[in-house]
Amino acid sequence: MQKPLITNRFVERFNLSTPIALAPMALANGGNLAAACARAGALSLVGGGYGDLVWTQREYSEAISLLDGNQDNLSRLGCGFISWKLAEDRSAFDWLLDQPQKPAAVMLSFGDPTAFAKILSDLNIPVICQIQTMAQLPQALDAGASVIVAQGTEAGGHGMNEREGRNTFTFVPEIADWLAKHSPQTILLAAGGIADGRGLAAAMTLGADGALIGSRLWATTQSLATESAKNIALQASGDDTTRSSIFDILRGKNWPEQFDFRAIRNKLHRKWEGRIDELRSDPAAAMEDYASGAGQEDYDRAHITVGQDVGLINDISSAEEVIDNIGQEAARLLNGGNTGKIATRRLA
């Protein structure tokens, strides 16, 4: 890991080279991507997602094995889970906490984090809560979160639906102001739409201590997304994604109503737009077709999960290169155009 160009409390607290966290992307960020990001100096959260025990065991163990006993790199490895799903099955969470290598942090998103956050806090494992509205903030802090991720609706994957969700550009500074007043020790990360150094610098200017990045790190050589999905994403612009529950219905996922999902608005999505009730009431044939499309990597019939920042992704390079480029560019922009070590702090 190279010496940090940007130093702040997030970088210092988690022993990072740059104020970036790899988002825990279900099924997309496994051991290989998490290990690469940890080696590059980012906080790396394996995509524990729905808490599938076998998947989490395999991918988390793969990351540990790739990091090969290097304590510096291992100190940046953690995992993320979906809270409402953990309430149904917490076996992967329990397995993780039984491992000899304590996770650097565990991120909880979507639903009440309280019960799981308490278990983590009792073990001195930092709790990261991803939230989408101001109303969720007190619950996350009461649960014991030491890091809050403010997720805007630009983000790839699940988030708050358009009716209730917030955009990153107004949500981050509003949370920053609230935390400065009520919980100044809490670290704040921005999520949703951050794919380059401009985005990271903007997020930090808005009061965040760093960024949680999903889509840009999905589009790297080490992610588990298929080559064909990555190539389609490369051709897409930010206009080409949308939010809805269509892909959740087609995958048989029973997400709470307030959350929906951003992905590329493909032929399959367009087919069901305006007919969601019809799809929900009789999904069997459509689900079968979706599963067959996914099996054949036919992305007219299966989905590709990326955020609006897909339009800023122009190559599939390694995660190390992506993290390095974002860090360098952000440092230059935050430093008035000169690359050099800078320290940032939350605006009071």
Question: What residue ranges bind ligand FMN (CB under 6 A)?
Answer: 23-26, 28, 47, 49, 80, 82, 109, 130, 151, 154-158, 191-194, 212-215, 218, 305-307, 309
Which is closer to ligand FMN, CB of 109 or CB of 244?
Answer: 109
Question: By Cβ distance, which residue is nearest to ligand FMN?
Answer: 214
Residues 6+ positions from 184 with CB-CB distance below 8 Å: 346
Q: What is the DSSP string of 226-289?
A: -HHHHHHHHH--GGGEEEESHHHHHTT----TTEEEEEE--HHHHHHTT-HHHHHHS-HHHHHH
Query: Minimum Å distance from CB 333 to ligand FMN?
Result: 18
CB-count burial class (<10 Å; 0-12, 13-18, 19+) for 266: buried
CB-count burial class (<10 Å; 0-12, 13-18, 19+) for 61: middle
Query: Minimum Å distance from CB 274 to ligand FMN?
Result: 25
Query: Minimum Å distance from CB 63 to ligand FMN?
Result: 16
Pairing assessment for the beta strands 187-191 and 147-151 based on DSSP bridges = parallel
Structure-block tokens of residue 236 = 């897409």
Query: Minimum Å distance from CB 148 to ligand FMN?
Result: 12
Query: Minimum Å distance from CB 3 to ligand FMN?
Result: 25
Structure-block tokens of residue 340 = 């050099």
Which is closer to ligand FMN, CB of 193 or CB of 293?
Answer: 193
Which is closer to ligand FMN, CB of 35 or CB of 212?
Answer: 212
Query: Minimum Å distance from CB 285 to ligand FMN?
Result: 26
Which is closer to ligand FMN, CB of 213 or CB of 342?
Answer: 213
Which is closer to ligand FMN, CB of 103 or CB of 157?
Answer: 157
Q: Helix 31-40 crosses helix 53-67 at what angle (to 10 degrees)?
A: 40
Which is closer to ligand FMN, CB of 109 or CB of 242?
Answer: 109
